[in-house]
Chain A
Amino acid sequence: MAKTVIKKSNIHISSNGMEKHIPEKRLEVLKTYKIYIGGQFPRTESGRYYVPVNKSGKKLANVCLSSRKDFRDAMESARGAFGGWSGRAAFNRGQILYRMAEMLEGRKAQFIDELIQQDSTAAQAEVEVNLAIDRLIYYAGWCDKYQQIFSAVNPVASSHFNFSVPEPTGVVAVIAPQNDSLLGLVSVIAPVIAGGNTCVVLGSFDKPLCCVTFAEVLNSSDLPGGVVNILTGKSSELASWFAEHMDVNAVVYCEKDEATQKMFKEKSAVNVKRVVLYDKVNWYSDAGQSPYFINDTQEIKTTWHPIENIGGGGSKY
């Protein structure tokens, strides 16, 4: 990608008499952008690639054009990881989200560089990365707290102690925001996994660099393999598979495209998936983070626990 010219090396004789070659410019080692499934970085099963180009005409990279079979494999990983992740102590999930933020902070420069390649200004890029880090911290804090907000003890007219608690809905298939390729991605993944779900995420098509690099952050931050799986490719190819897969429990879609929204609503009926649409959210504003985003991929379990007669016991429940 980068234009590299190797000039004739300068040869120096060092003090111990050894020859030292000092090339004026070294060959840059370019990163292969692969997808992230089950804690591994495979290439797409389909063998297809595309080359996103930025506004100044620079080719960004060869990026995997994922197929429905990559999605199927990712779903298997996500389902396999669900029991372990949802079974962890909420506090521990918070620690891991915090660790993700630490890792992201450590690679800030790389993300800023990638965002600039993807047409952000330097100032915009820095704001986006900072917000993404803060957002992870925000949801790390909520991991063991949202349950109290959304739980309730319910009044019932029989001798039962009746209470409702949120539980993770299962595997969530996410089509991440296409424009805010890092902040949008983090803003949709974090509440899903903070709530104990696992997910398969399709990153931005035109700006795919950050989502692959973010997968590397996930991979080095104690997040068990399979909890987040990241694909790159075309929403138009994959969206209907997201909607129709019987093992998907909820879908998240962030674009304004009405035809796709309609498709999600219709096809999700096959196994009554939750359909979550974030087409009006400004991820840069305060409204871009809230425990209600966690609640969107929870299901409420209500328990009727028999107790002694409420009249006699004087209970007000």
Chain B
Amino acid sequence: MIIPDFRISPRVDQVGIEERASRVTKRSIKKESKMNGLLLALNMIDLTTLEGKDTDGKVKQLCYKAQHLHDAYPGLPTVAAICVYPSMVKTAKQALGNSGVKVASVATAFPSGQAPRDVKIRDTKYAVANGADEVDMVISRGKFLMGEYNYVFDEIAAIKEACGDARLKVILETGELGSYDKVRRASDIAMYAGADFIKTSTGKISPAATLPVTLVMLEAIRDFYYVTGKMIAMKPAGGISKSKLALHYLVMLKEVLGEAWMNNEWFRFGASSLANDLLMQIVKEKTGLYQSKDYFSID
């Protein structure tokens, strides 16, 4: 694979990308297609808890929720994965057993990424050794903004190696990058360095995922696919808590990357409260009654 010069990554037309992104919000999705979209989105969720106050009990409860989203309606899909800190991986792995729900772990001094490289590598290896199926790393935004693209590239490559068989998600933290041009460049660096997923945000910084930023990254994935023939997955994370917005993301995904990406192998939502909103909409579609949070699990 020829590594391109990242200094000349394609520039992004800001007005154009925002205009295009806003257009997907105008689609009307009703009835059967809405139902299918809701179920698909539910199946794409990385149900997340990343808080200092996380405990084994909280993680177990979340794992139970992942497998029993709303038992009043049998036949609902599960979420794709649980996303936790490395110290919680063992608990999550045990709680999920062979349910098919994957365990993703953030690593590399999440969320700041401000740690020496060997610490980040050990962090990653710890998560994988405890059974993480996927690793969500953060890039060194400081180095990236200083223009040290080689440093960022080498770091991602080193973490990828430490991951072994686990799939690597690379968090760009787009809210800290400052422009679409830089989002595009960071996406290119991550994909060429070996990322399996590129992910917008940690969820700790505002703005987190937005439609335009996601569109820039989806286009980077498309261009990478045209050049290398290799599919890269996408994960917007943070700030997606409503079903309607999730459907907008699916519309965008379908229009930019197409059918092949429309499953949880290639697209994920990083979210905690989206699951309940999707469930409420699904029950609304089935019963015709607007729903209340009182009748769903507490987030």
- Using Cβ atoms and an 8 Å threshold, which residues of chain B touch A244? 288-290
Asked if B297 is an interface residue, CB under 8 A from chain A, the answer is no
A246–B295 alpha-carbon span in the complex (Å): 9
- Using Cβ atoms and an 8 Å threshold, which residues of chain A touch B49? none
Q: Which residue of A lies closest to B283 (CB)?
A: A246
Asked if B291 is an interface residue, CB under 8 A from chain A, the answer is yes
Instruction: List residues of B (270-299) whose CB comes within 8 Å of A's CBs.
Output: 288-295
Asked if A271 is an interface residue, CB under 8 A from chain B, the answer is yes
- Using Cβ atoms and an 8 Å threshold, which residues of chain A touch B288? 244
- The secondary-structure label for the interface of chain B is loop
Residues A241 and B290 in contact, CB atoms below 8 Å apart: yes
Number of interface residues of B (CB under 8 A): 8
Asked if A22 is an interface residue, CB under 8 A from chain B, the answer is no
Q: Interface centre among A79, A241, A244, A247, by most B CB within 10 Å? A: A247
- Using Cβ atoms and an 8 Å threshold, which residues of chain B touch A72? 290
A244–B289 alpha-carbon span in the complex (Å): 6
A278–B289 alpha-carbon span in the complex (Å): 26
Closest beta carbon of chain A to B288's beta carbon, Å: 8
- Using Cβ atoms and an 8 Å threshold, which residues of chain B touch A271? 292, 294-295
Pick the residue among B289, B290, B294 that contacts A75 (CB under 8 A). B290
- Using Cβ atoms and an 8 Å threshold, which residues of chain A touch B290? 72, 75, 241, 244-247
Q: Which residue of B lies closest to A247 (CB)?
A: B292
Closest beta carbon of chain A to B280's beta carbon, Å: 9
Annotate A39-53 by CB proximity to B: 1 below 8 A, 0 otherwise: 000000000000000
Annotate B61-97 by CB proximity to A: 1 below 8 A, 0 otherwise: 0000000000000000000000000000000000000
Asked if A270 is an interface residue, CB under 8 A from chain B, the answer is yes
Number of interface residues of A (CB under 8 A): 10
Q: Which residue of A lies closest to B288 (CB)?
A: A244
Instruction: List residues of A (8-59) whose CB comes within 8 Å of B's CBs.
Output: none
Closest beta carbon of chain A to B26's beta carbon, Å: 14
A72–B290 alpha-carbon span in the complex (Å): 8
Q: Interface centre among A75, A244, A246, A271, by most B CB within 10 Å? A: A246
Closest beta carbon of chain B to A87's beta carbon, Å: 17
A72–B293 alpha-carbon span in the complex (Å): 14
Q: Which residue of A lies closest to B293 (CB)?
A: A247
A163–B108 alpha-carbon span in the complex (Å): 55
- Using Cβ atoms and an 8 Å threshold, which residues of chain A touch B295? 246, 271
A245–B288 alpha-carbon span in the complex (Å): 9
Closest beta carbon of chain A to B25's beta carbon, Å: 14
A107–B291 alpha-carbon span in the complex (Å): 39
Closest beta carbon of chain A to B241's beta carbon, Å: 12
A72–B289 alpha-carbon span in the complex (Å): 11
Q: Which residue of B lies closest to A241 (CB)?
A: B290
- Using Cβ atoms and an 8 Å threshold, which residues of chain B touch A247? 290-294
Closest beta carbon of chain B to A111's beta carbon, Å: 33
Annotate B87-115 by CB proximity to A: 1 below 8 A, 0 otherwise: 00000000000000000000000000000
- Using Cβ atoms and an 8 Å threshold, which residues of chain B touch A241? 290
Instruction: List residues of A (240-293) whose CB comes within 8 Å of B's CBs.
Output: 241, 244-247, 270-271
Q: Which residue of B lies closest to A75 (CB)?
A: B290
Closest beta carbon of chain B to A122's beta carbon, Å: 43
A75–B292 alpha-carbon span in the complex (Å): 10
A218–B294 alpha-carbon span in the complex (Å): 29
Annotate A146-164 by CB proximity to B: 1 below 8 A, 0 otherwise: 0000000000000000000
A34–B291 alpha-carbon span in the complex (Å): 26
A134–B131 alpha-carbon span in the complex (Å): 69
A244–B287 alpha-carbon span in the complex (Å): 10
A271–B289 alpha-carbon span in the complex (Å): 11
Q: Which residue of A lies closest to B280 (CB)?
A: A246
Q: Interface centre among B291, B292, B295, by most A CB within 10 Å? A: B292
Closest beta carbon of chain A to B139's beta carbon, Å: 36
- Using Cβ atoms and an 8 Å threshold, which residues of chain A touch B294? 246-247, 271
A174–B289 alpha-carbon span in the complex (Å): 18
A271–B293 alpha-carbon span in the complex (Å): 12
A317–B293 alpha-carbon span in the complex (Å): 38
- Using Cβ atoms and an 8 Å threshold, which residues of chain A touch B289? 244-246, 270
Closest beta carbon of chain B to A170's beta carbon, Å: 9
A126–B144 alpha-carbon span in the complex (Å): 70
A245–B290 alpha-carbon span in the complex (Å): 5
- Using Cβ atoms and an 8 Å threshold, which residues of chain A touch B291? 246-247
Closest beta carbon of chain A to B30's beta carbon, Å: 13
Give residues in B with beta carbon < 8 Å to A.
288-295
Give residues in A with beta carbon < 8 Å to B.
72, 75, 79, 241, 244-247, 270-271
Besides A246-B291, A271-B294, 17 more A-B contacts (Cβ < 8 Å) are A72-B290, A75-B290, A241-B290, A244-B289, A244-B290, A245-B289, A245-B290, A245-B292, A246-B289, A246-B292, A246-B294, A246-B295, A247-B290, A247-B293, A247-B294, A271-B292, A271-B295
- Between A and B, 5 residue pairs with Cβ closer than 8 Å are A75-B290, A79-B293, A246-B289, A246-B292, A247-B293
Query: What are the 7 A-B residue pairs with the smallest beta carbon separation, nearest first?
Result: A247-B292, A246-B292, A245-B290, A246-B291, A244-B289, A246-B289, A72-B290
